[in-house]
């Protein structure tokens, strides 16, 4: 049995590309209780906490947990609370390069644990006020770390990426596939 510690439709869609049969169960953790560390350490600690929270309920299962965050100039950008915060984020990212970090935590059915942080650099085009307003009008910023999703309207903001495209969507499936096979990284 394989358990995905998430109800995210994007993560489920991506996981189906490499694992056709799994169950999705969200982890119930208090993210605010974890200390905010540097971005890579923080996403790894969140993924670890999510995965470990499901071990007692699924002791013999393979458990996959992930957490994705956007960071700009060393500062974490979570999901915007409202349109104004989304506008601040998108405006700041315009013409700049930022990082997307995903912490992966996998406990295989044999009990061994693998973890890794995947980093992707994303560069946005320089954005005018009209560009930002046009993007915000799509409401595609809602429920997205950094106020954008590369798989929808946010794709028009992106000039280039260096690294794993699927990491920016929230689940770096190439790395995860290798972790599930227990191949060395």
| Nearest partner of 27 among 72, 57, 2, judged by Cα | 57
- In angstroms, the CA 174 to CA 181 distance is 11
Q: Coil, helix or strand for 131?
A: helix
Residue 102 near residue 43 (C-beta atoms within 8 A): yes
pTM score, whole prediction: 0.91
Secondary structure tally for the chain: helices H, strands E: 6, 7
Could you say which of 21, 38, 67, 139 is catalytic? 67
- In angstroms, the CA 159 to CA 148 distance is 14
Mind listing the pLDDT tens digit for each residue in 114-149?
A: 999 999 999 999 999 999 999 999 898 998 889 999
The yes-or-no answer on residue 67 being catalytic is yes
Query: Residue 34 pLDDT > 90, yes or no?
Result: no
Average pLDDT, the chain: 93
For each of the domains in the chain, give its residue range(s) and CATH number, in order of start: 2-180 (3.90.950.10)
Mind listing the pLDDT tens digit for each residue in 82-110?
A: 999 999 999 999 999 999 999 999 999 99
Q: What is the mean pLDDT of residues 3-22?
A: 95
Please report which confidence band the pLDDT of residue 37 belongs to, taking 50, 70 and 90 as the band edges: confident
Query: Residue 30 pLDDT > 80, yes or no?
Result: no
* pLDDT number for residue 185: 47
Q: Coil, helix or strand for 83?
A: helix
* Phi/psi at 85 (5° precision): -70, -35
Residue whose structure tokens are 């923080």? 42
């Amino acid at each position: 049995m394989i358990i995905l510690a998430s109800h995210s439709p994007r993560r489920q869609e991506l996981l189906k590309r490499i694992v056709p049969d799994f169950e999705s169960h969200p982890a119930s953790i208090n993210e605010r209780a974890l200390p905010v560390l540097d971005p890579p350490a923080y996403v790894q600690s969140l993924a670890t906490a999510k995965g470990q929270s499901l071990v007692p309920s699924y002791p013999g299962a393979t458990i996959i947990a992930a957490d994705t965050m956007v960071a700009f100039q060393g500062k974490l950008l979570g999901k915007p609370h409202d349109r104004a915060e989304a506008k601040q984020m998108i405006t700041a990212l315009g013409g700049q390069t930022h990082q997307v970090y995903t912490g992966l935590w996998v406990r295989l059915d044999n009990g061994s644990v693998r973890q890794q942080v995947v980093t992707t650099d994303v560069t946005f085009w320089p954005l005018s006020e009209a560009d930002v307003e046009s993007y915000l009008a799509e409401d595609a910023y809602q429920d997205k770390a950094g106020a954008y999703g590369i798989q929808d309207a946010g794709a028009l903001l992106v000039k280039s990426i260096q690294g794993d495209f699927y990491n920016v969507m929230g689940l770096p499936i190439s790395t995860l596939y290798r972790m599930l096979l227990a191949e060395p990284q």
